[in-house]
Amino acid sequence: MVTSIDEWDRVLGGGLVPGSLVMVGGEPGIGKSTLLLQVAHLLAKRYGKILYVTSEESLRQTKLRAERLGTIEGEIYLLAETNIEVIISQVDSLKPKVVIIDSIQTMYLDSIQTAPGSVSQLRECAARFLRLAKDNGPAIILIGHVTKEGILAGPKVLEHLVDSVLYLEGERYQAYRILRAAKNRFGSTNELGVFEMGGFGLQQVNNPSAILLAERPSGTAGSSVVACLEGTRPILMEIQALVSQTAFGNPRRLSTGIDLNRILLLSAVLEKRAGLPLSGYDVYLNVTGGIAINEPAADLAVCLAIASSLKDKPLEANTLVLGEVGLAGEVRAVTQIERRIEEALRLGFTRFIIPDGNKKSLGDQNFEIHGVRLVTEALELGLV
């Protein structure tokens, strides 16, 4: 069952499978209820009855939100209930195509002694919904809260039980939200959808690279661009570094969007192998747009951003940098280089600094392409 939200459909592997059990997890306030109301609306328009069970907000609140989002028409039934047996009897009489449970943490089964939200309640409730879905029932979407501290008591304990697990992520005070599949019985995992939170809910972002690079300052030091693979899709992201003299002897390293250990490691490589005096400098790193990069393919771009800020020299214009950096200062090949380069060409990049190991596979090209073996070669080629 498809919505017209491509980002949602694609992350699910092409749409919602009838009779499947899907879990959507995310931190409180990230936009799960908003997204699912929008999904409910579009599914209702195409496929008929949808039951939205709300236990965290009142019927009135949910209705007001739906009105504001413009997701009010269509056969969406709202139910404020936390007792699973009552919900199931409603499902039996209504026969909806899809049931959305917002949230699984507030549901309870009478037969279980512990409080709603406890691990045994969560497990048993999800198992009950699983039976309902598999028994020729509706597709069921469970919303689950993930808290920074208590991941264990949240959706993690249900991952093995459900068909698909999606996570909605992002920085709460930044507009972009990422929807990721962590598990999918019906499609590929690590597929990713990008949304922007606005006044009318979550809008899909069809061309994330262009948006993520839109405000990139040109000709300033400390900024580089990398093409990361998110699922099947390459996305261009800007990495920013600010390197400034340490005031108190003990240099600081701070990072948002890239693992701090990676920054420590790359700083050490730059110091030892490329002779950059980073132990006397603080290094701040940022991936713009609130997106996290967890691919080593971004290493070389991080190194160039740091070196660029330290030397106060911008990168050559229209240059894209790719490569994993090892402890010996060597630049290692990355996967799927063609797809990454294709996306960068589409956005106007014409000059590429890539691992030598990848260059061979590319053959002759009509754009400027440099294969490098060492991080030092990349620094020479990259900075103006």
**Footprint of ligand TYD (CB under 6 A):** 26, 28-34, 65, 69, 197, 199-201
Q: How far apart are CA 204 and CA 325, in angstroms?
A: 34
- Sequence-distant (6+) residues with CB within 8 A of 305 are 222, 223, 224, 239, 240, 241, 285
Nearest distance from C-beta of residue 180 to ligand TYD, angstroms: 15
Q: Which does 208 bind (CB under 5 to 8 A by kind): Mg ion, ligand TYD, none?
A: none
Q: Which is nearer to ligand TYD, 17 or 35 (CB)?
A: 35
Give CA–CA dist 349/44, Å, rounded.
42
Q: Quick one: tokens of 255?
A: 């990072």
Taking the least distance from each CB to Mg ion, the nearer of 168 and 331 is 168
Within 8 A by CB and 6+ apart from 288, the residues are: 212, 215, 216, 237, 238, 239, 240
Nearest one of 191, 216, 209, 192 to 345, comparing CA atoms: 209
Using CB under 5 A as the binding rule, the residues of this chain from 114 to 133 that contact Mg ion are none
Burial 317-340 (b: 16+ CB within 10 A, else e): ebbbbbbbbbeebbbbbbeebeeb
Residue (114 or 147) nearer to ligand TYD, CB:
147
Nearer Cβ to ligand TYD, position 158 or 331?
A: 158
**Residue 370: contacted member of Mg ion, ligand TYD, none (CB under 5 to 8 Å, by partner type):** none
Q: Are strands 192-198 and 201-204 parallel, antiparallel or unpaired?
A: antiparallel
Least distance from ligand TYD to the Cβ atom of residue 344, Å: 32
Nearer to ligand TYD, 27 or 324 (CB): 27
Which of 344, 348, 302 lies closest to 324, judged by CA? 302
Whether 332 contacts 354, CB under 8 Å: no
Nearest distance from residue 38's CB to ligand TYD, in Å?
Answer: 9
Write the Ramachandran bin of 170: left for phi over 0, alpha for psi from -120 to 50, otherwise beta.
Answer: left
Nearest to Mg ion of 33, 288 (CB atom): 33
User: Counting contacts by CB under 5 A, is residue 106 touching Mg ion?
Assistant: no
Strand partners, 74: none
| C-beta closer to ligand TYD: residue 98 or 258 | 98
- Residue 126's identity, in one-letter code, is A
Please identify which residue in 33, 38, 106, 121 interacts with Mg ion, judged by CB under 5 A. 33
Phi and psi at 92, nearest 5°, equal -60, -40
197's contact among Mg ion, ligand TYD, none, with CB below 5 to 8 A by partner kind, is ligand TYD
Cα–Cα–Cα angle for 199, 201, 202, rounded to 5 degrees: 120
Q: Which does 96 bind (CB under 5 to 8 A by kind): ligand TYD, Mg ion, none?
A: none
Q: Which stretch binds Mg ion (CB under 5 A): 31-39, 150-158, 197-205, 370-378?
A: 31-39
**Is 35 or 276 the residue whose CB approaches ligand TYD more closely?**
35
Least distance CB 172 / ligand TYD (angstroms): 7
Least distance in angstroms from the C-beta of 197 to ligand TYD = 5
Neighbours of 215 (CB within 10 A): 9
Task: Report, in Å, the least distance between residue 27 CB and ligand TYD.
Answer: 7
Cα(55)–Cα(153) distance, integer angstroms: 18
Closest CB 353 distance from Mg ion, rounded Å: 44
Nearest approach in angstroms of CB 75 to ligand TYD is 21
- Alpha-carbon Rg for the chain, nearest whole angstrom, is 24
Shortest Å, Cβ 26 to ligand TYD: 5
| Residue nearest to Mg ion according to CB distances in the complex | 33
The alpha helices in the chain, defined as continuous H runs, are 6-11, 32-47, 59-69, 84-94, 119-134, 208-213, 260-274, 299-311, 337-346, 356-362, 375-382
Residue (168 or 235) nearer to ligand TYD, CB: 168
Piece of 33-41, 90-98, 262-270, 305-313 that binds Mg ion (CB under 5 A): 33-41
Picked from Mg ion, ligand TYD, none, the partner binding residue 30 (CB below 5 to 8 A depending on kind) is ligand TYD
Backbone torsions φ then ψ of 135, nearest 5 degrees: -85, 55
Site residues, Mg ion (CB under 5 A): 33
